[in-house]
């Protein structure tokens, strides 16, 4: 329990050191509960090029993230603890004739080094360092220029080019660790139409949270034969499709360098109705189109009820033949330029990524209270491919560290969030508890799909002072035995664990 003790000491120290200085003025930035940044202060436009830089604004952040992962049974894996400390310094120049620039330098230092042989077992805490760098050079720190872009604004239209955060249905910063997930490319956004936002993005590289370099947006494994852990230098996101690997693309005679294209539109022209449509594509691999409707209904007593539905259609554009229908990549075997596909492990069309995902929810709101029930179901076709830190079931049935978009998976969610500060009960304190039941397809366990599970997920957040807050997250996962290995005599509970996360953020 050393991790928990260290986290508690850090929390108390921050509380004692800063509580006397708390005030009600806003910091230059705030954090949402999902750790997305909200800018309260931005540079004003200037009339000279020199003023563009001298009147720019710096944004600082110090942070600590601690993790404890406790498996019920260590079946081929190991419990692990991690602590990361670091921060970021971001600069935004003042706009001059509509032109501005942003640069963000991020740093993380892992305090509990993992033995080289155990790097593969690191779970949530792996994002405090780069496994690739740790394995190959012994370096357990990261220093990354994760944001560096030019921006041009005219009227209600913005264009950006360079390294940047892009929050969308499938692409998110997911900045819950030490360094955000960012992309290299170009973004165009316009709000010229009333109550409508239209965006287009073209990305040619991505940097995941635990990487120090940018890499291909979808290719698993870098293909560098001299690198003993090449997979940790490509797209090795937890939700990556491992069959879409460097080796498989080469065997199929396909390009190993890909682009990610996103186009979305959000409209609020109809009173109380929000409409969102997103198109995403990795050309010559796969594409998807997603529609979402949320309609807010006023109820007596200042309550509101918002029904929401989301539907995603995933289309195979050649990726299924390369990597197969399962995210684990085990359905396809390449021998030279010839592929064979396994249809005996629960995937009837193992060479196709055609699939779909449907979700529905009801959200009840009143002041500090938010309650939700939700449901999601994936078609019994292919797994959903989304390794860009935007989670297809996010906001509906996804719990912390869970991936419930495998084929033929059904999930049920109930959650309650309460802002005790807004209710004038406990200043600055808010809490959320979520219960999720996940019904996976037992026939697909041989390809890495987990057993059915029940999850209790809790978040507790305390705003301590201006710019300073602490957050505790707890995930308790109780899973059934893996039926696919029940006859082997091995311990078949491979999916039950408890996870604890504690973080402190100071924004200035």
Q: Do the bridges between strand 273-282 and strand 260-267 make them parallel or antiparallel, or are there none, so unpaired?
A: antiparallel
Question: 427 to each of 58, 294, 423, how far by Cα in Å?
Answer: 28, 31, 9
Q: Which helix (H) or strand (E) covers residue 276, if one does?
A: strand 273-282
| Cα within 13 Å of Cα(64), Cβ side | 19
Q: Do the bridges between strand 80-92 and strand 57-71 make them parallel or antiparallel, or are there none, so unpaired?
A: antiparallel
As a whole number of angstroms, the distance between CA 36 and CA 344 comes to: 43
The CA-based angle 172-375-471, given to 5 degrees, is 45
Q: What pLDDT does residue 226 have?
A: 55
CATH number of the domain residue 141 falls in: 2.40.160.10
**What string of DSSP letters covers 196-261?**
EEEEEEEEEEEE-TT-SS-B-SS-BS---TT-TTGGGGS---TT--TTSBHHHHHHTT--S---EE
Question: 299 to each of 364, 366, 419, how far by Cα in Å?
Answer: 10, 10, 20
Q: What is the pTM assigned to this prediction?
A: 0.92
As a whole number of angstroms, the distance between CA 349 and CA 267 comes to: 37
Is the Cβ–Cβ distance between 318 and 254 less than 8 Å? Answer: yes
Structure tokens that stand for 326 in this block: 């399962």
Is the Cβ–Cβ distance between 413 and 397 less than 8 Å? Answer: yes
Structural domains in the chain (count)? 1
Our separate counts of H helices and E strands in the chain read 5, 23
Q: Which helix (H) or strand (E) covers residue 135, if one does?
A: helix 131-137
The end-to-end CA distance of the chain, in Å, is 32
Q: What pLDDT does residue 18 have?
A: 41
Q: What pLDDT does residue 198 have?
A: 98
Is the Cβ–Cβ distance between 125 and 85 less than 8 Å? Answer: no
Neighbours of 365 (CB within 10 A): 17
Domain containing residue 139? 2-507
Please name which of 117, 51, 106 lies closest in space to residue 84, comparing C-alpha atoms. 106
In the chain, which residues have pLDDT < 70? 1-24, 222-231, 484-491
């Amino acid at each position: 329990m050393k991790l928990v003790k260290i986290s508690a000491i850090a929390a108390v120290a921050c509380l004692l050191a800063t509580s006397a200085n708390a005030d009600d003025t806003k910091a230059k930035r705030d954090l949402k509960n999902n750790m997305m940044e909200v800018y309260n202060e931005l540079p004003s436009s200037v009339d000279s090029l020199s003023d563009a830089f001298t009147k720019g604004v710096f944004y600082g952040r110090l942070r600590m993230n601690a993790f404890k992962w406790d498996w019920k049974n260590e079946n081929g894996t190991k419990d692990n603890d991690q602590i990361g400390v670091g921060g970021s310094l971001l600069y935004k120049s003042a706009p001059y004739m509509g032109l501005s620039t942003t640069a963000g330098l991020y740093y993380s230092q892992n305090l509990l080094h993992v033995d080289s042989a155990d790097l593969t077992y690191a779970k949530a805490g792996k994002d405090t360092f780069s496994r690739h760098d740790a394995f190959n050079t012994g370096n357990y720190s990261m220093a990354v220029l994760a944001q560096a872009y030019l921006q041009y604004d005219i009227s209600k239209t913005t264009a950006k080019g360079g390294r940047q955060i892009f929050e969308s249905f499938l692409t998110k910063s997911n900045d819950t660790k030490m360094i955000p997930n960012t992309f290299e490319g170009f973004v165009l956004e316009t709000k010229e139409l009333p109550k409508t936002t239209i965006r287009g993005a073209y990305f040619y590289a991505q940097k995941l949270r635990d990487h120090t370099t940018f890499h291909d947006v979808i290719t698993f494994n870098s293909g560098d034969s001299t690198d003993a852990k090449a997979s940790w230098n490509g797209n090795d996101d937890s939700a990556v499709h491992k069959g879409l690997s460097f080796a498989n693309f080469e065997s199929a005679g396909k390009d190993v360098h890909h682009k990610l294209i996103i186009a979305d539109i959000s409209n609020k022209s109809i009173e109380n109705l929000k409409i969102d449509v997103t198109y995403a594509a990795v050309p010559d691999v796969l594409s998807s189109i997603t529609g979402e409707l949320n309609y807010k209904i006023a109820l007596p007593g200042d309550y509101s009820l918002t029904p929401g539905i989301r539907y995603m259609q995933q289309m195979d554009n050649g990726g299924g033949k390369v990597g197969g229908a399962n995210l684990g990549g085990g359905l396809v075997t390449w021998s030279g330029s010839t592929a064979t596909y396994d249809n005996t492990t629960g995937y009837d069309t193992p060479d196709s990524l055609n699939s779909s995902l449907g979700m529905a929810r009801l959200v009840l709101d009143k002041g500090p209270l938010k309650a939700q029930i939700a449901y999601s179901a994936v078609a019994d076709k292919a797994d959903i491919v989304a390794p860009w830190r935007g989670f297809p079931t996010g906001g509906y049935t996804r719990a912390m560290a869970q991936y419930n978009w495998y084929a033929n998976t059904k999930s049920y969610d109930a959650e309650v969030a309460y802002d005790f500060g807004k209710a004038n009960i406990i200043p600055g304190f808010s809490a959320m508890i979520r219960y999720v039941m996940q019904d996976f397809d037992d026939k697909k366990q041989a390809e890495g799909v987990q057993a059915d599970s029940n999850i209790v997920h809790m978040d507790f957040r305390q705003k301590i002072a201006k710019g300073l807050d602490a957050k505790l997250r707890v995930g308790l996962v109780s899973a059934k035995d893996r039926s696919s290995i029940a006859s082997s005599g091995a311990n078949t509970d491979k999916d039950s664990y408890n996870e604890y996360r504690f973080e402190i953020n100071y924004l200035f």
